[in-house]
Homo-oligomer: A and B are copies of this chain.
Amino acid sequence: MGDSACASATLAPPSIGGGSLLIAWQLKDKNVLIVGGGEVASQRIESILTTDSRITLLAPAKGLHARTKELIDMHPARITYYDRRFSGPAEIHKMDMVLTALDDVNRSREICEMCRTNKVPVNAADIPDLCDFYFGAQIRDGPLQIMISTNGNGPRMAALMKQKINSALSGNEGQAIERVGVLRGQLKERASGVGGALGRKRMKWMSEVCNVWGIDELVQLDDALITKLLDDGWDKGCVPTLDQLKGRQTRKPARQTAPSPDSSQWLLAAASFALGAVCATLALVSRRR
């Protein structure tokens, strides 16, 4: 899913402006048309499969990429495949989004113009000036989605940024967010009502829970603990820690524990200790002589 697929040659100034609007587009129960069956098309299909939309794929079977074939076979309920080319404006009438991934730039351009006339959002692979939107490098962990865009300044840099961000994540974030979502849902049931003072109180309490509990603790919020947290926390107007909830004595606040030294630090300490001991011994022995 390269950033370059629809890359702009102009550079963004570091100040305000010059950027894209990064948004989370909703495609639940919508219709997406993908024209083309090559490698880029397979990447487009994978992007769209992230959402709960219906995909219509138009591409002659002889030109299908192996991955595209695989995806068609894997998701028969999601992808309706037609072994033929794009035939004309009627194809886009019921569509909520159109993606072209064709070698034929002129055909892509024609399809984009039809979409523009019909106000259907469109992305044409490799033809940035025709695109309503670009794709970017994506990270997904359950309900957590992260997108990295370099605004057309190279897919490799987007991939490097993705690596960097991935290595900063523990892998527990998605599950923690999912558990917070469940807690939030149950809090809304317990203290229902839209907006106003209650809405603000709910939001404040939820924020405090997220601040007091770490990611690795939020992951442990099973259904029983959620009920206990609402009983002992929300109902009593406080935010207990995980230890308090589990009935354990807390000796220190969960968020203020010092980081434990890693193995390289232990090695460093041991080596320095030994070096110190050897130096002192040598100094004393030499003085004794």
Contact status A20-B50, CB under 8 Å = yes
B13, B132, B272: the one within 8 Å of A272 (CB)? B272
* CB of A218 to closest CB in B, whole Å: 8
Contact status A210-B168, CB under 8 Å = no
Q: Within the assembled complex, what's the spacing in Å between the Cα atoms of A41 and B275?
A: 63
Chain B CB within 8 A of A151 CB? yes
Chain B CB within 8 A of A145 CB? yes
A259-289 CB contacts (< 8 Å) to partner B? 261, 265, 268-281, 284-285
Contact status B177-A22, CB under 8 Å = no
* Copies of this protein, total: 2
Segment of A136-144, A229-237, A246-254 engaged in the interface with chain B = A136-144
Q: Within the assembled complex, what's the spacing in Å between the Cα atoms of A178 and B157?
A: 10
Given A16-B50, A277-B279, A277-B280, A149–B156 Cβ distance below 8 Å? no
Residues of B contacting A147 with CB < 8 Å?
22-24, 146-147, 149
* CB of A143 to closest CB in B, whole Å: 4
Contact status A26-B131, CB under 8 Å = yes
Q: Within the assembled complex, what's the spacing in Å between the Cα atoms of A14 and B174?
A: 8
Contact status A132-B25, CB under 8 Å = yes
Contact status A20-B26, CB under 8 Å = yes
B9, B185, B276: the one within 8 Å of A185 (CB)? B9
A147 nearest in chain B by CB position:
B22
Contact status B150-A143, CB under 8 Å = yes
Residues of B contacting A63 with CB < 8 Å?
none
Residues of B contacting A136 with CB < 8 Å?
22-24
Total interface residues on A, using CB and 8 Å? Answer: 100
Interface readout for A79-91 with B: 1 if CB under 8 Å, 0 if not?
0000000000000
Chain B CB within 8 A of A182 CB? yes
Interface readout for A110-153 with B: 1 if CB under 8 Å, 0 if not?
00000000111101001000011111101011111111111111
Residues of B contacting A217 with CB < 8 Å?
none
B11, B145, B154: the one within 8 Å of A20 (CB)? B145
Contact status A51-B21, CB under 8 Å = yes
Contact status B24-A22, CB under 8 Å = yes
Given A144-B150, A153-B180, A281-B284, A138–B276 Cβ distance below 8 Å? no
Contact status A167-B168, CB under 8 Å = yes
Residues of A within 8 A of B (CB): 4, 9, 11-14, 16-27, 47-52, 75, 78, 118-121, 123, 126, 131-136, 138, 140-154, 156-157, 160-161, 164-165, 167-169, 173-178, 180-182, 184-185, 188, 195, 203, 206-207, 210-211, 215, 261, 265, 268-281, 284-285
Q: Please name 14 pairs of A and B residues whose Cβ atoms are closer than 8 Å in the assembled complex, sorted by A.
A: A11-B178, A11-B185, A23-B135, A119-B120, A121-B121, A145-B149, A145-B150, A147-B149, A156-B211, A157-B210, A265-B268, A273-B273, A275-B276, A276-B280
